[in-house]
Amino acid sequence: DAGTAQDLTFISGKLITTNTNILIIGGATIVNGASNNSFADGPVRKDGSQTFVFPVGKGSVYAPVRISNFSGANGSTQFRAEYFSANPDPLYSRSSKDATITNVSFCEYWILDRLSTAATVKVSLSYNAARSCGFTSFTSLKICRWNGTRWVDHFNDNLGPAGFVTSSANVTSFSPFT
């Protein structure tokens, strides 16, 4: 557990985590240095309600996910994130989707879970052409979430930080995202 009001700096190599041996980042901990050379390969849990970028990836791919704009959070707010450099199909059918979604990624997805409280957040997924199916148009990207039967459109606010696509409103349910 990285505790509160501490720094966690990634310098070199991967921190291999599992659901049993998870990296827990608490409170106002600041995470620095995550990159393709150094990140958490596996799930990471964030405690607290501060805007946060999960330093996650898989293999040699760093693919952070960001949560922000907390609403309804309290002292026991927890989220867990993990990245998968894989096609979400057949676990989460790419053909079952809202009519407003043209295509669902066949390259990558994230599991983002809310572990406690009823907090809602804006979700921001990182992207780049090399790992994200070779897309060319940021404005055509959307946040999509699997709701158990289909991919639901959470749109794109077109205002997220550089390298991220952000949901247009707070997300109230959590599951796989792409």
The model's pLDDT over 12-32, given as tens digits with 9 standing for 90+, comes to 999 999 999 999 998 778 899
Q: How many helices (H) and strands (E) does the chain have?
A: 0, 17
- Nearest CA among 9, 48, 56 for reference residue 25: 48
Tokens of 161: 């930080």
- pTM, entire model: 0.94
Q: Given this model, what pLDDT does residue 30 score?
A: 87
Which amino acid, 30?
I
Q: At 135, is the pLDDT very low, low, confident or very high (cuts 50, 70, 90)?
A: confident
Give the integer Cα–Cα distance in Å for 18 and 13. Answer: 16
Reply yes or no on whether the pLDDT at 128 is more than 90: no
Roughly how many angstroms between the first and final C-alpha of the chain, as a whole number?
28
**pLDDT tens, position by position, 25-71:** 987 788 999 999 999 999 999 999 999 999 999 999 999 999 999 99
CA atoms within 13 A on the CB side of 58: 16
Residue 120 Cα distances to 6, 12, 38, 64, angstroms: 25, 33, 29, 19
Reply yes or no on whether the pLDDT at 130 is more than 90: no
Give the integer Cα–Cα distance in Å for 66 and 43. Answer: 14
